[in-house]
Amino acid sequence: MSKRSAPKFTRAMLVLFPLAKAFASRGGDTEALLARNRIPLGALTDPAMLVEASACYAAMEDMAETLGDPYFGAKVAIETARKGTPGLRDAASRALTLGDFLSRVVVEVSKQVDNVRYSVLVSPDTASLEIQRTINVSKPSRQLDAVGVAFYVTVIRQGIGGTFDPNDIVVTVPTTAGLPPGFLPKQAFITSGINGLRISFPPQWLWAPFALDWDLVEAPRGELAPGGASEATLSYFRTVLADNIAHQDLNLDVFAAICGLHPRRVQRILLATGTSFSQMKDDVRQSVSEDLLSNTTLPISQIALQVGLSGPAALDRAFRRWTGKTPTGFRAESESDQDVQVVDKGSGSSTGNEP
C-alpha cells in the first residue's frame, strides 16, 4: 500500500496577503473566504503560521471565481511586483545584477516555504528560473500559475529595464488561462504538464544591472542621539512604522533592518522610553486606523488590510480594545463632530456681524 505524502506547508501571509487585500478592496468577504478554505483567520497576520499549501492554492481560485475575474491573481501579482514584497526585500535591495537577484531569491524562498523549490539553471544558450512544486495540484491551477508568471516576469522586466526583450523570453507553464491577453507575445508561451513553471531567457541577462524601485518605505534615519532615546528618534520610528504598517511581516527584525539598526538596539531604545516594539506598532496601527476612518471613505475591510489586519472582524476587535467603540461607530461620531464644527463656524460668522 502506497504511503500518503505528507502535506506541504507555506506561510499564507506571504502567499495570500496581497491577494486578500485586493479581494477585500473589491468587496470580497475575506473571513468567509478563509473559512471556506479552512484557513485560520490569524494566518494573514502571523508571519510564523504555516498553512497547507493546497488550501492557499484553492483560496486563490476561490477569489477569482467569487469576483468573476479570471485575471485577478495576475493583476495583483503585477501590482505587487511593481510595489514590492517584504519577503524578498533583501534580495531586491542587495542585488547588483539579475543573476545576483535570482540566486538570492532561491536562498530566501527556501527559508520561508517548503511547497516549492526554486533553482537557476544556466547553459551556453539559455538561463532559466525554475519553480518546482513539491505537491501535485489536483484541481485547476489557473490563478497559481498566473501569479508566478506575472510576478517574476514583471520583476525581471522592471529590474533590467531596457535589456528586457519580450521576444527573447520563453515561459513554460501548465496553463496560460489566468494571464491577461498581451502580457507577453503568444510565441513566448509553452504549455506543458510541468508541475510548476520555467522562465527562460538569454544567459547574458544574468549580468545585466538590476535595480527595483520597490515601495517599501525607508525614511532617512539621520543621526541618533547619544543616549538613543531622543524624541526625534522615536518620531523616526513611528514614521517608519506608519509607512510600512500594511506589510504583514513587519516584525522587529525587518523593522530594525529598515532602520539600519540591530534589533537589540531598537529594543534598548524603546525600553529606555518605557515602551516596546509591539506596543509602538499597536499605537501606530490605532493612529493610522483612526485617521483613515475620520478622513476617508474607504471601506472598513480595506482599512483593516491597510493597517496590517486580516479583515473587518480583526479591526473591530482591535478597535474595541483601543477605544471601546466599533470602527463604524467611531466613523459616525467623527462625521457628526465635523458637522458640528461646520455649524459652529457658520454660527460664529453670523454672530460676528451682530451689533
pLDDT score, position 355: 34
pLDDT score, position 353: 42
Return the closest-CA partner of residue 57 out of 150, 143, 132: 143
Cα–Cα separations (whole angstroms), residue 86 to 109, 191, 239, 264, 268:
12, 31, 17, 21, 24
**Which grid cell is 273?**
522610553
pLDDT score, position 47: 61
Return the closest-CA partner of residue 57 out of 166, 145, 172: 145
pTM, rounded to two decimals: 0.65
Distance (Å, rounded) from C-alpha 137 to C-alpha 155?
25
Cα–Cα separations (whole angstroms), residue 140 to 53, 124, 173, 202, 218:
14, 35, 13, 31, 39
**Which grid cell is 114?**
517548503
Residues 6+ apart with CB under 8 A from 325: 319, 333
Return the closest-CA partner of residue 62 out of 73, 78, 49, 74: 73
Beta strands in the chain (DSSP E): 9-11, 50-52, 116-122, 127-133, 170-173, 189-191, 196-201
pLDDT score, position 5: 53
- Write out residues in the chain with pLDDT < 70, as ranges: 1-14, 45-48, 113-114, 137-140, 215-230, 248-249, 337-355
